[in-house]
């Protein structure tokens, strides 16, 4: 008899007339693929993949209400756009999922650049927001207009085929701004007490319910806590939801703190589960509670539901890394799920001047162009492919080439696969990246490719393989700071991981404050070391993008890592590093000194092999020093081109 691997996660859920096939919601994300208010064809296919992958609800992100754009011109409910939204809803339905759309107004957080009517810049109490919007305090007429617009917008999406709407009452946008004493300083019946501050959000939900009728499911997104001493608490939100459940049928609980909304590897998994649990514990909320935030694994999700801490889970980045996570979980194929790194590359590339990118999933943002999903199509003719190097680029190339039916040989000169990612075997903070490294190794080993370790590529091997294609993925090498006097007293940052027998003093100086230097410093600090980082530039971790860097900064403060920018190291001594800053000479004391002043692409073997096969490609750090995304994408597309 069939026994489902995750019976509670895969249990259906009825919300009024809406029947969900499981307890997994694909959370709203990726908002910069709309032009003039119209989603492009790629955006349609992007969401279709979430449905095809098995999520019960697929949510379109940031449907702006009343010209209240937060980040973009967003999606607009116009007559001209009805056809594309109808296509989007139908594409989701065709794979058995419910189609939802998030409705939001930025309030004081709007960006004037993305709002057409600058006379409509409004917020609960007025003021200038982070994007420079000079907002005026809302009048009661404004409230009526906004509430009616929420209802109008909800009705529009239902008419074009969406099953439900997710009304955004969190993340610091307009409706939550009324709930917060920080942004709501009103002295009328909409400010002051909690009862007053939730009055307008409840009114909006009431108007949406009136418009959609008694049978239509309505969802709400809330921040479970402001995570500040004087901010609202889970108990407050429980009181709000106890009132709101007259109008809504499910609540998704997130968090207000930005670094908890977009968590890095320096926070635990499920960082907001405690908020959902606290809300349920109050005992007043009868509607289902979903939780969102680093829900990355089906076993984790199953435990959350089984324990009663939440009734369902909402996943964002996990379903960007692998849209087929729900399907694989239901089929017991957990070890084939491509893990999310929580690197925030997706979040940081979700803007109007970048290609939306997932570090571990090369297909993200290519669904419409490439036209295939979980299964990679076979090549038209079988080739012999030699892959040189067993790091992330080489492993991904082997997985992809073998999946396409080629005869693949991968040669790695060391005893183990994983390349530089093997540092995660001993790193204290990189469990997410370690999972991905293990995934790549596991999938390469079961791909059918011939895996050779302790193997140098030479003429004898090339003669045996007789490759039609060679993919060189030999990585990069550390730059040694010979320009610093006494550099030989220091070790490269990777020695902290790859040389377990070295003695590391209680005080450490790291020369170089790029991402490698800072994250190694965090690793050492978590081992109890006192770490000082010296960075020549005026900012540290410059190779980390905005949201991830916020997480790095928070972790550095938490672990007590001192980062000194504008510091030029001039000499490494037995007791530390002499450096210059602002025209003065200082000394950073440390019994051990490490450096991370950059990496250099290693293209030497590529040049040797360039004439050894009809086609020779260089990928990963060997071509251009970067991060995991460059290696994985390079290996994937090189194999796709074979």
Give the SS3 label for residue 379.
coil
Separation of alpha carbons 633 and 623, rounded Å: 12
What is the domain count for the chain?
3
Supply the pLDDT for residue 110.
86
Q: How confident is the model at residue 41 (pLDDT cuts 50, 70, 90)?
A: confident
One domain for residues 353 and 444 = no
One domain for residues 357 and 324 = yes
One domain for residues 507 and 429 = no
Supply the pLDDT for residue 546.
80
Higher-confidence residue: 1 or 31?
1
Long-range contacts of 516-519 (CB under 8 A, 24+ apart): 516/596, 516/599, 517/493, 517/594, 517/595, 517/596, 518/544, 518/552, 518/556, 518/561, 518/563, 519/429, 519/430, 519/552
Provide the percentage of residues in the chain whose pLDDT is more than 70: 96
Supply the pLDDT for residue 31.
67
Mean pLDDT of 275-294: 97
Mean pLDDT of 130-152: 93
State the greatest distance between any 2 C-alpha atoms of the chain, in Å, as a whole number: 84
Supply the pLDDT for residue 415.
96
Q: How confident is the model at residue 73 (pLDDT cuts 50, 70, 90)?
A: low
CATH of the domain at 629: 3.40.50.720
Supply the pLDDT for residue 39.
84
Question: Tokens in use for 274?
Answer: 């405690």
Could you tell me which residues are beta bridge partners of residue 250? 219
Separation of alpha carbons 512 and 516, rounded Å: 8
Supply the pLDDT for residue 64.
85
Separation of alpha carbons 197 and 186, rounded Å: 9
Higher-confidence residue: 81 or 372?
81
One domain for residues 333 and 390 = no
Higher-confidence residue: 92 or 115?
92
Tell whether 8 is covered by a domain: no
Supply the pLDDT for residue 70.
56
pTM (global) more than 0.85: yes
Domain boundary pick from 370, 396, 420: 370
Domain boundary pick from 370, 393, 425: 370
Tell whether 577 is covered by a domain: yes
Q: In this predicted model, what pLDDT tens digit does every residue of 452-494 receive, in sequence order? A: 999 999 999 999 999 999 999 999 999 999 999 999 999 999 9
Please tell me what DSSP assigns to residue 138. P
Higher-confidence residue: 260 or 554?
554
Tell whether 614 is covered by a domain: no
One domain for residues 233 and 351 = yes
Tell whether 118 is covered by a domain: no
Q: In this predicted model, what pLDDT tens digit does every residue of 340-380 receive, in sequence order? A: 999 998 887 776 666 788 999 998 877 767 767 777 889 99
Q: How confident is the model at residue 314 (pLDDT cuts 50, 70, 90)?
A: very high
Give me the chain's average pLDDT, please: 93
Selection from 400, 403, 339, 370 nearest residue 45 by Cα: 370
One domain for residues 560 and 413 = no
Among 61-75, 181-195, 268-282, which is the least confidently predicted range?
A: 61-75
Supply the pLDDT for residue 349.
76
Q: In this predicted model, what pLDDT tens digit does every residue of 5-14 receive, in sequence order? A: 999 999 999 9
Provide, for the chain, the percentages of residues in helix, strand and coil under a 3-state DSSP scheme, each rounded to the nearest 5.
35, 20, 45
* Distance from the Cα of residue 314 to its chain's centroid: 13
Q: How confident is the model at residue 69 (pLDDT cuts 50, 70, 90)?
A: low
Give yes or no for residue 68 having a pLDDT over 60: no
One domain for residues 354 and 494 = no
Give yes or no for residue 32 having a pLDDT over 70: no
315: left (phi over 0), alpha (psi -120 to 50) or beta: beta
CATH of the domain at 562: 3.50.50.60
Q: Are the C-beta atoms of residues 399 and 443 closer than 8 Å to each other?
A: yes
One domain for residues 444 and 352 = no
Tell whether 239 is covered by a domain: yes
Selection from 640, 639, 603 nearest residue 621 by Cα: 603
List the 576-581 sheet strands across, edge first. Answer: 568-573, 576-581, 584-589
Tell whether 300 is covered by a domain: yes
Supply the pLDDT for residue 116.
67
Q: In this predicted model, what pLDDT tens digit does every residue of 142-187 receive, in sequence order? A: 999 999 999 999 999 999 999 999 999 999 999 999 999 999 999 9
One domain for residues 365 and 400 = no
Supply the pLDDT for residue 472.
97
Residue with tokens 């092999």: 609
Tell whether 3 is covered by a domain: no
Q: Are the C-beta atoms of residues 40 and 70 closer than 8 Å to each other?
A: no
Mean pLDDT of 127-152: 93
Among 276-290, 360-374, 539-553, which is the least confidently predicted range?
A: 360-374
Q: How confident is the model at residue 71 (pLDDT cuts 50, 70, 90)?
A: low
One domain for residues 411 and 555 = no
Mean pLDDT of 587-604: 95
Tell whether 137 is covered by a domain: no
Could you tell me which residues are beta bridge partners of residue 223? 254
Show the domain range for 427.
384-461+622-640
Question: Tokens in use for 491?
Answer: 């070790």
Q: 447 Cβ partners below 8 Å, 6+ apart?
A: 398, 399, 402, 403, 408
CATH of the domain at 318: 3.20.20.70
Mean pLDDT of 522-538: 97
One domain for residues 181 and 298 = yes
Mean pLDDT of 331-342: 96
Please tell me what DSSP assigns to residue 530. E
Pairing of strands 134-137, 127-128: antiparallel
Provide the percentage of residues in the chain whose pLDDT is more than 90: 81
One domain for residues 218 and 254 = yes
Selection from 522, 511, 514 nearest residue 592 by Cα: 511
Domain boundary pick from 324, 339, 370: 370
Supply the pLDDT for residue 545.
81
C-alpha separations of 575 from 235, 589, 597 in Å: 53, 6, 20
């Amino acid at each position: 008899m069939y026994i489902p691997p995750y019976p509670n996660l895969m249990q259906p859920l009825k919300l009024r007339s809406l029947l969900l096939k499981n307890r997994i919601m694909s959370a709203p994300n990726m908002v910069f693929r709309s032009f003039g208010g119209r989603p492009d064809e790629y955006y349609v296919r992007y969401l279709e993949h979430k449905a095809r992958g098995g999520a019960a609800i697929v949510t379109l992100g940031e449907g702006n209400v009343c010209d209240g754009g937060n980040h973009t011109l967003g999606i607009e409910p116009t007559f001209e756009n009805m056809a594309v939204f109808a296509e989007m809803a139908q594409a989701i339905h065709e794979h058995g999922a419910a189609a939802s759309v998030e409705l939001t107004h930025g309030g004081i957080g709007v960006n004037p650049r993305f709002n057409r009517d600058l006379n409509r810049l409004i917020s609960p109490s007025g003021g200038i927001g982070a994007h420079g919007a000079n907002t005026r305090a809302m009048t009661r007429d404004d409230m009526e207009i906004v509430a009616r617009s929420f209802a109008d917008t909800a009705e529009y999406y239902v008419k074009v085929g969406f099953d439900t709407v997710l009304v955004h009452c969190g993340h610091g946008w307009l409706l939550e701004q009324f709930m917060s004493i920080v942004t709501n300083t009103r002295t009328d019946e909409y400010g002051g007490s909690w009862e007053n501050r939730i009055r307008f959000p409840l009114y909006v939900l009431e108007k949406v319910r009136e418009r959609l009728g008694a049978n239509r499911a309505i969802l709400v997104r809330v921040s479970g806590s402001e995570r500040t001493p004087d901010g609202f608490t889970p108990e407050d939100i429980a009181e709000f939801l106890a009132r709101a459940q007259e109008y809504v049928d499910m609540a998704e609980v997130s968090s207000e703190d930005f670094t908890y909304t977009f968590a890095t590897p320096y926070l635990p998994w499920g960082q907001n589960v405690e908020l959902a649990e606290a809300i349920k514990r109050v005992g007043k909320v009868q509607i289902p509670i979903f939780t969102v935030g680093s829900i990355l694994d089906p076993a984790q999700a199953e435990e959350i539901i089984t324990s009663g801490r939440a009734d369902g889970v909402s996943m964002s980045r996990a379903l960007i890394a692998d849209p087929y996570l729900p399907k694989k979980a239901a089929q017991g194929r957990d070890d084939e799920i491509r893990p999310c790194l929580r690197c925030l590359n997706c979040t940081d590339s979700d803007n109007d001047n970048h290609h939306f990118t997932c570090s571990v999933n090369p297909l993200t943002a290519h669904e419409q162009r490439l036209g295939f999903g979980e299964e990679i199509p076979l090549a038209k003719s079988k080739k012999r492919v030699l892959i040189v190097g067993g790091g992330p680029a080489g492993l991904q190339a082997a997985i992809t080439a073998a999946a396409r039916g080629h005869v693949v040989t991968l040669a790695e000169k060391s005893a183990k696969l994983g390349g530089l990612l093997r540092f995660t075997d001993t790193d204290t903070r990189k469990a997410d990246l370690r999972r991905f490294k293990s995934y790549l190794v596991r999938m390469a080993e079961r791909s059918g490719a011939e895996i050779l370790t302790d193997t140098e590529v030479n003429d004898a091997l090339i003669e045996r393989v007789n490759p039609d294609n060679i993919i060189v993925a030999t990585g990069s090498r550390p730059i040694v700071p010979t320009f610093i006097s006494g550099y030989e007293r220091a070790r490269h940052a990777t020695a902290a991981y790859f040389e377990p027998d070295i003695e590391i003093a209680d005080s450490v100086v790291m020369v170089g404050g790029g991402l490698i230097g800072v994250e190694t410093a965090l690793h050492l600090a978590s081992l109890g070391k006192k770490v000082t980082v010296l960075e020549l530039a005026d900012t540290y971790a410059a190779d980390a993008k905005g949201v991830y860097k916020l997480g790095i900064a928070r972790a550095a403060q938490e672990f007590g890592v001192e980062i000194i920018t504008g510091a030029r190291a001039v000499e490494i001594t037995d007791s530390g590093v002499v450096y210059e800053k602002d025209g003065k000479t200082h000394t950073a004391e440390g019994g051990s000194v490490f450096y991370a002043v950059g990496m250099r692409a290693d293209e030497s073997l590529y040049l040797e092999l360039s004439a050894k096969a009809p086609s020779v490609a260089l990928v990963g750090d060997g071509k251009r020093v970067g991060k995991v995304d460059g290696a994985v994408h390079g290996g994937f597309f090189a194999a796709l081109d074979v």
